[in-house]
Chain A
């Protein structure tokens, strides 16, 4: 119940939080490092290994943020709560040191500290919630890792996020570090194209049922679900929420073609048609960060290509330039959270490859070349992209750091497609 209303409120709250997490320029807790090189960071070991599982998660999170050179700390561990010996870490070339230490009198209470090794000072700390070994603690470690990234770079990390994707016609989820793979009960067979609401609690997706393919809105916590009004019949695909959660854009197919529509989630009414491509296909809408523009795929000029338009359907125009008859089919667009890039896939010699459009420069850059690579989705940090790749032999999810080119495999079994990356999540 109250799905739509809570969606909107949570969306607005998320937007407010998001603003809070971006500090004014220059606030970098006094740590300086040469631009273009990554600071070297070590996560200290503690004798008796009281926080070993948290330490392992934290170190991996910081590594996967792609913001640091992770150094292996000396195996000679300090006692819990001891002040770190900065000389040791300075000698191994560390700029930053992260320490897990007891906090307060509660035995289970742990804090994560960030030390500036060169200055020899503790610069930031945050306390972990939850009991050792529990899901809440694991998530608290992810949140702390994201905070460490924010303290150093000004922008939070992505450890406390997860992905929805499709496997054998069902919706699955997996944490950003590959942990917690599990199926999400959903209506329809298959269920396709999951999309996160910005509150991180609801999703929309296409459910294949007897009448057609309605769009379903579902509460991920309670499992409550309902159909987006007016999508009971016919083809209703590729949903995506606006960043404030107030609108849901999608494509509705009829005998006269497929067009982009928008549903007003906030007012729980008013499906408005945005494109008028008679007998052409218009689909895969993706919102610009300010909610005033949408990029989408259209076949109005023949093959599917990337266009954009105003959020009321005005001024449609080509977004990624193409040569008629030579540029391959273009699909699966995803507009980055910072608005500066749109990732998509485009056929190169009959095989889809990832590309990214620089929104300001209007230039297009190819990101992949091995196997099939398709359906990109941006991480909330705007620098990592998850996509489907066949490079391992089967279709699996991979994560690419667009800035460094570092690539890692996220899922390893069972096939995967149509991933959607969540916003940062407050709780597991």
Chain B
């Protein structure tokens, strides 16, 4: 499950050497060896991202068969896509382009579209899924199994009562719990992305128990439709 995350950080560690905007002054001449020393130090501690990435790459090297080669080719392609996306993000931030995620048409009938969009709700300061939530997700599972090209973004939201910043972490945990449930029930990890909006996007602007309950939720957006 951590593979794609590790990759993005792995990738991130390399371009740091060429992060031109940051490095207008004289650049340290030997960034890569320094990074290597860092990862050795980190690995010695056994808990850093670099260490995880290193273990991951060692493991990958160990099972280098034809499938792994194919997977590696795929990962290289994805990593260059990711690098391009990172550049886009940089450009957007520099120019302050705020872009809403463009919802992809699901290409499904109305009933399935509604089913996919059905929200999951949470108790106060909790990210675990109750039976009602599981039932909502099970109905999505059937659609996801039927249309293997469908991809979703899961967005975690909170009510206004907790701390603003803590709620961003809590929203992330809620979205992650939903994704974990779907992955555990057979949906490929790559079809699901998560995002947290904390308490920044309330569904109900009220300050009542009912409003708070409505706002503690996970929302679903289609990021790739069912049809090719």
Chain A positions near chain B (C-beta within 8 angstroms): 1-5, 169, 185-190, 192-193, 206-214, 216, 224-227, 229-230, 232-235, 237-238, 251, 253-258, 261, 267-273, 276, 279, 281, 283-284, 297, 303-304, 312-313, 329, 331-332, 345, 350, 352, 374-375, 417-418
Contact of A237 among B2, B12, B15, B165 (CB under 8 A): B165
Contact of B25 among A2, A261, A271, A312 (CB under 8 A): A2
Contact of A226 among B48, B90, B194, B197 (CB under 8 A): B90
Asked if residues A226 and B172 are in contact (CB atoms below 8 Å), the reply is no
Closest beta carbon of chain B to A151's beta carbon, Å = 38
A279–B166 CA distance with the chains assembled, in angstroms: 14
CB of B58 closer than 8 Å to a CB of A: no
CB of B196 closer than 8 Å to a CB of A: yes
A255–B183 CA distance with the chains assembled, in angstroms: 12
Chain B positions near chain A (C-beta within 8 angstroms): 1-2, 5, 8-9, 12-13, 15-17, 19, 21-25, 28, 31, 34-35, 38, 42, 45, 47-50, 82, 85-86, 88-90, 92-94, 96, 98-101, 125, 161-166, 168-170, 172-173, 176, 179-180, 194-197, 200
* 29 intermolecular pairs with C-beta atoms under 8 Å apart: A4-B22, A5-B24, A187-B96, A188-B98, A206-B168, A207-B93, A208-B197, A224-B94, A229-B19, A229-B22, A230-B12, A232-B12, A232-B89, A235-B169, A235-B172, A251-B169, A255-B180, A268-B19, A269-B17, A269-B19, A271-B13, A272-B42, A272-B50, A273-B47, A284-B165, A304-B163, A313-B45, A329-B166, A374-B163
Asked if residues A329 and B9 are in contact (CB atoms below 8 Å), the reply is no
B86 to chain A: closest residue by CB: A232
Closest beta carbon of chain B to A129's beta carbon, Å = 30
A418–B101 CA distance with the chains assembled, in angstroms: 26
On chain A, the residues within 8 Å of B165 by CB distance are 192-193, 237-238, 283-284, 331-332, 418
How many pairs of A and B residues are in contact by the CB < 8 Å rule?
A: 189
Instruction: Identify the interface centre among A216, A235, A251, A417: most chain B CB within 10 Å of its CB.
Output: A235
Asked if residues A209 and B93 are in contact (CB atoms below 8 Å), the reply is yes
Closest beta carbon of chain B to A216's beta carbon, Å = 6
Asked if residues B47 and A276 are in contact (CB atoms below 8 Å), the reply is yes
On chain B, the residues within 8 Å of A329 by CB distance are 125, 162-163, 166
A345–B31 CA distance with the chains assembled, in angstroms: 41
Asked if residues A192 and B12 are in contact (CB atoms below 8 Å), the reply is no
Asked if residues A255 and B176 are in contact (CB atoms below 8 Å), the reply is yes
A212–B24 CA distance with the chains assembled, in angstroms: 27
Asked if residues B176 and A189 are in contact (CB atoms below 8 Å), the reply is no
Closest beta carbon of chain A to B163's beta carbon, Å = 4
Given that A235-B196, A417-B164 are contacting pairs, would A209 and B22 also be in contact in the complex, using a CB cutoff of 8 Å? no
Asked if residues A254 and B5 are in contact (CB atoms below 8 Å), the reply is yes
A209–B200 CA distance with the chains assembled, in angstroms: 13
Asked if residues B89 and A283 are in contact (CB atoms below 8 Å), the reply is no
On chain B, the residues within 8 Å of A267 by CB distance are 28, 34
On chain B, the residues within 8 Å of A2 by CB distance are 24-25
> 10 extra interchain contacts, Cβ-Cβ under 8 A, other than A208-B200, A226-B22, A229-B12?
A2-B24, A3-B21, A187-B93, A209-B92, A210-B101, A233-B86, A256-B1, A281-B170, A284-B166, A374-B163
